Amino acid sequence: MPRRTITIVIIAVLLAIVSFLLGFRFPGYNVIFQGIGISVFSSVTFWLISDILHVSSEREALNAYITRLENLEKYKDIKDIRNNDDNLDSFWIHFADDAENKLEISGKTLDKWINTRKKQEIFKKAIIRIVRNNDKKVFGKNGEAVKLVLYSDKGLQALIERTNESIEKYLADKKSVMVFIYDVWRRLANENQRRNIGVYEVDALPYMYCSNGKQCVTGSYFYKRKDKKNLLLIHNCSKNSIEEEFSEDFYDMIALIEPTNISNWKPKA
């Protein structure tokens, strides 16, 4: 309790006591002095309760403000916001080219990573560079330095039922990516490097998540709309940020899934 409040309470109590004592000392004015004492006591009591409630209200407002600041602090890592319908080829090329020890990407089929020769070369070099940089590290399920997450055939079927798109196109796009990944995988020097690529097929993606260890890109997926006017948030990778929460959730999503056997993706002769 503030010192000012304590002082006022003490003075008020003393005044009330003096008023009651004067009432006993001068019986003819007993009612008047008691009235003064009760009035002083009631006024201070009312002021004290109001002050406590006011402080409590201020404290609640301050706590709410602190909570908002903490939430904003989590979003401090966001450095840019882009429309997914923008031409982002140069951004994604730089994103892959800048990866050194980590590359985690997700998408429906990942076909946009290989839809031009330049992007194919950058993507291939990034994968090879990263697995070589991690050649001596211990690997395991979900511990791969390169993680590629895309829709399963079942997931694609459910997707086209919502959007009325062509399943044949999606399956063709996915097959092209599978052939590309197999070709990169088979060219790696040893089994350690091969084990450092993890491909996971999921039935649904709640959001897009891509990370190169320096930057992270997250975006929403519409349930039914086919257009690409959803926003992409570009984050710097940092501790205690919203990017870290996406990363943890991304790992939780694939933790129960067995990685795809890439050797089964060998094109048929």
176-204 residue pLDDT tens: 999 999 999 998 878 888 888 999 999 98
- Per-residue pLDDT reduced to its tens digit, 144-154: 889 999 999 99
**Angle between helix 167-186 and 153-163 (nearest 10):** 150
Local confidence band at 77 (pLDDT 50, 70, 90 cut-offs): confident
Does residue 150 contact residue 254 with C-beta atoms inside 8 Å? no
Position 176 scores a pLDDT of 92
Is 70 exceeded by the pLDDT of residue 55? no
Return phi, psi of residue 131, to 5°.
-65, -30
Range of weakest confidence among 44-53, 93-102, 181-190: 44-53
What pLDDT score was predicted for residue 211? 93
The two three-digit tokens of residue 99, written as one number = 């990866």
Which DSSP helix (H) or strand (E) runs through 246?
helix 242-255
Q: Which helix (H) or strand (E) holds 82?
A: strand 78-83
The pLDDT, as a whole number, for residue 95 is 92
